[in-house]
Structure 1
Amino acid sequence: MPGLPEISPAETWEALRADPDAVLVDVRTDAEWNFVGLPDLSDLGKQPLLIPWQVYPSMQVNGAFAEHLRRAGLTAAHRLYFLCRSGVRSLSAGMAAQADGFPQAFNVTDGFEGPVDAEGHRGKVAGWKADGLPWRQR
């Protein structure tokens, strides 16, 4: 397996806009969706698919992850863009999906919030929020 291609949040937005078979899969936890926010794809006529890679609070890997993708109607024909907080969990989730029948998987570099800045805060240096892409509180 060649690995998972990395794609910037801005390139992900463009891919989601241009491609009807492109899906943003947000693999963060319920707590993150509820308290940190979500990508807002309403201008594209889409919604992020919310499937946690790890289950809060134990943070155990979701053993049914690929099955959840299938239940959502996704197939090998879809291009899947995996997003987490900083790009680490999404890389693991995307690699697992790729190995389980979803060959067109991409990791969104720096995720939703990106790395911490000099003051220890996320969302300002890189990632979906820092790139000025639409998002909302749940």
Structure 2
Amino acid sequence: MKHLQPQEAWDYLQQHPDALFVDVRMEIESLYVGRPPGVVNVPWYEYPDLTPDGKKFADAVAREASSKAQPVLLICRSGQRTLAAGQALEAAGFAEVINVVHGFEGELDEQFQRSTLSGWRFEGLPWEQM
């Protein structure tokens, strides 16, 4: 699995428009907190179970991808869920899996708030909110 900082991931997406960009957060997080434009939401886990199923996740991503050779970029809130999700994709045979380091909202600061130190939104990259 490759690891790219948010700006590097944005640049990669501009250079590889064929890449599949997957938001692994729960759908409610993606819609209400915000998300990068063009991202496909495939939750790593969903409410109320909150239990990941690597095979189910990989199968859902495979339905969105043109093939397992298509590059897949993964983003979540802080870059943690994408690590396990990426490992599930690699185990399922995906050839190029990329983790967006620090995710959409980034690390917690001293006041336990996100989007103040790192992350997609902190970097000022394009995003939308419902």
Q: How many Å apart are 1:87 and its aligned residue? A: 0.6
Distance 2:80 2:99 in 1: 9
Normalized against structure 1, the TM-score is what?
0.87
Indicate the residue corresponding to 2:78 in structure 1.
86
Gaps of 5+ in 2: none
Cα shift at 1:12: 0.6
* Match runs of 1:22-41 below 5 Å: 22-40=19-37
Cα distance, 1:22–1:73 mapped onto 2, change above 3 Å: closer
Q: Displacement, 1:19?
A: 0.8
Aligned-pair CA distance for 1:105? 0.2
Q: Aligned to 2:96, which of 104, 107, 113? A: 104
Give me the CA root mean square deviation. 1.2
Q: TM-score, normalised by structure 2?
A: 0.92
- Distance between the aligned counterparts of 1:134 and 1:80, measured in 2? 19
Deviation at 1:76?
Answer: 2.2
Partner of 2:66: 74
- Deviation >6 Å, runs of 4+: none
More strand by share: 1
Contact 2:62 2:68 in 1 (8 A): no
Cα contact 1:111–1:127 (8 A) shared by 2: yes
Check if 1:19 corresponds to 2:25. no
- Residue aligned with 1:82, SS: strand
Whether 1:50 and 2:41 are equivalent positions in the alignment is yes
**Other structure's SS at 2:87 match:** helix
Deviations 1:36-85 (A, max 9, x none): 11112xxxxxx111100011232111441111112113312211111000
Aligned length: 129
Three-state SS of the structure 2 residue aligned to 1:61 is coil
The percentage of counterpart residues that share the same residue type is: 39
SS at match of 1:24: strand
Consecutive unaligned residues of structure 1, counting only runs of 5 or more, are: 41-46
Give me the whole-angstrom Cα distance separating, in 2, the residues matched to 1:57 and 1:137.
23
Q: Which residue number corresponds to residue 43 of structure 1?
A: none
| Cα separation, 1, equivalents of 2:99 and 2:81 | 9
